[in-house]
Amino acid sequence: MADYDAVLVGSGINSLVCAAFLARAGWRVAVLEREAELGGAVRTAELTEPGFHHDVFSAWHPLWVGSPAHAELGSALAERGLEYLNTEHPTGTLFPDGESAFLTTATDGNAAELDRLATGDGAAWREAIASVGTQAELIFGVLGTELWSPAGLSLGAKAYRRLGRRGLARFGAEVVQSSRDWLTTTFRSERAHGLLAPWVLHTGLGPEAAASGFMTRVIAFAIEAGGMPVPRGGGARLVDALVRLIRDDGGVCETGRDVERILVRGGRATAVRLAGGDVVGAGRAVICNVTPTQLYGRLLDPADVSADVADAGRRFRFGRSEMQIHFALSEPPRWEGDERLDKTAIVHLTPGLDGVSRAVNEAERGLLPAEATVVVGQPLALDDSRAPAGKGILWIQLQELPWHVKGDAAGELDVGNGTWDESLRERYADRIQARIGRHVPNLESSILRRVVLSPADLQAANINLEQGDPYSGSLALDQNFVWRPFARQPGHRTPVDGLFQIGASTWPGPGLGAGSGTLVAKTLLQPPAAQRIVGRLGAFLRPGQA
């Protein structure tokens, strides 16, 4: 294979966006993917029956549509066939007693809904949304900046000048506040708490975790402002358009290319070696969309990094595991209760804030939750091309599961030796199906086929979904913000010159916003003098090198 300016290991959203920016700037880029399909966790397949197009892993694209990468690349991707569909009914929560609460894309409507739940909560909603709006430059600056860098220092200085000492302290306290504390001090209604609390799970956190309150506020603002967009035809259409863009600009994207080693010469990454022996040169950068356990435990020779960094990378912690359930239905689901349920993109089934907290706690103690938070996605509410006319699809996500199962909090299931074998997978899915069926009377009778992906199945499908963690690493505070991926080696630069790490394991974490790929591309595209200055400052800031 030919040499390139940049070689990207893995083809997730961050790799494709990074490659797109570099290729448009004239770099010769190669994206190398070990699996048979490009896109990482963005995949669409006829997983159940012909004509039923399921988003196998990730499915919803509000972070992408609201991202800086989409702002720059969106028109070029649209020219290559990418079309987004959206809804005014992005999410709701259905409680065990059959009552529901909803968020729309209208502030007035949301305020009215929350006032219906408790007088005064509508005004609290308006104030919360307005507060995020007035702080948007700082909030989204935090989420879109390389925090362990001169840019991060500059953002901190800007915040200090704007807010003052006490204001900056207050903002910092808001950033690390838990979701429980923010929800219970902001809204009176427990239904309002239950409407918002499940969204914490989509950030890899739980309601009691540090920074979960900050993320709840950001997601609430994003849902109202951006809805719940999806690509027509499935999430893979985003991958298709990005790959076309890369190739149109001279880049290469190849599957079945398993990188087994990063080759380092004189302290600099110069090439990668593939399984089978082929060597692909990288004249300017090697960019790895992998977990720290992969980077420091498999791809780098131990002689090329210090023992303490390598050991810290191998000890990178993963978070809770996940299960996906996909239903192909002979007819659309018929929800009992509020008619808005039929047209809502994502419905959470939960008793509320305490229910989410309890399920998270049980999972983190190694137990199958007695009453999991069930994420019910309804892609046909937005995109009727996903299934044959008159049929139905449900996309189910369960984000509160242990990797090694010690027991069942409900005392119903024998978990055997604690591994996710087929029997445990299907029996647990039966429990979830029964939960949904209590609110969707025609569910059981309309199932054409059900496909369940356990945490073990997720790990087998994608090397970055280690231990079935969809977010590629725990987002506990010591592995989050300025400390992501881990405190011994924060940021996207690595101890090896010319070697960068991107992906969900790095800041700004998981999701389809392509933040890390964008940040690294912009760093590499800086003028040479600026690159040298940033590199020197980055080396100065590295732990143990100051």
Q: Using one digit for the tens of pLDDT, what is the confidence trace for 95-132?
A: 999 999 999 999 999 999 999 999 999 999 999 999 99
Instruction: Please tell me the predicted confidence (pLDDT) of residue 72.
Output: 98
Q: What is the mean pLDDT of residues 157-184?
A: 95
pLDDT tens per residue, range 344-379: 999 999 999 999 999 999 999 999 999 999 999 999
Structure tokens at 504: 């969900």
| pLDDT confidence tier of residue 531, bands split at 50, 70 and 90 | low
Q: What tokens does 179 get?
A: 């979701």
Q: How far apart are CA 519 and CA 69, in angstroms?
A: 10
What gap in Å lies between CA 424 and CA 456, rounded to an integer?
Answer: 11
Asked if pLDDT for residue 411 goes beyond 90, the answer is: yes
Closest CA to 100 of 277, 338, 295: 338
Supply the mean pLDDT for the chain. 96
Q: Is the pLDDT of residue 403 over 80?
A: yes
As a whole number of angstroms, the distance between CA 198 and CA 191 comes to: 12
State the maximum Cα–Cα separation within the chain, in Å, rounded to a whole number.
Answer: 68
**pLDDT tens profile 317-346:** 999 999 999 999 999 999 999 999 999 999
CA gap 536, 106 in Å, rounded: 47
pLDDT at 541: 58
pLDDT at site 544: 47
**Beta strand 29-32 with 4-9: parallel, antiparallel or unpaired?**
parallel
Cα 48 from Cα 395, distance rounded (Å): 12
In three state form, how does the secondary structure of 509-544 look?
CCCCCCHHHHHHHHHHCCCHHHHHHHHHHHHHHCCC
Amino acid letter for position 207: P
- Cis amide prior to 50 (ω within 30 degrees): no
Residue 455, SS3 per DSSP: helix
What is d(CA 70, CA 59) in angstroms, rounded to the nearest whole number?
17
How far is residue 103's CA from residue 237's CA, in Å, rounded to a whole number?
27
pTM of the full structure: 0.95
Is the pLDDT reported for residue 69 higher than 90? yes
pLDDT bin (cut points 50, 70, 90) of residue 545 is: very low
Extended strands (E) in 384-512 = 392-401, 407-408, 447-453, 499-502
Average pLDDT score over residue span 437-459:
98
Q: CA-based angle 260:456:358, to the nearest 5?
A: 130
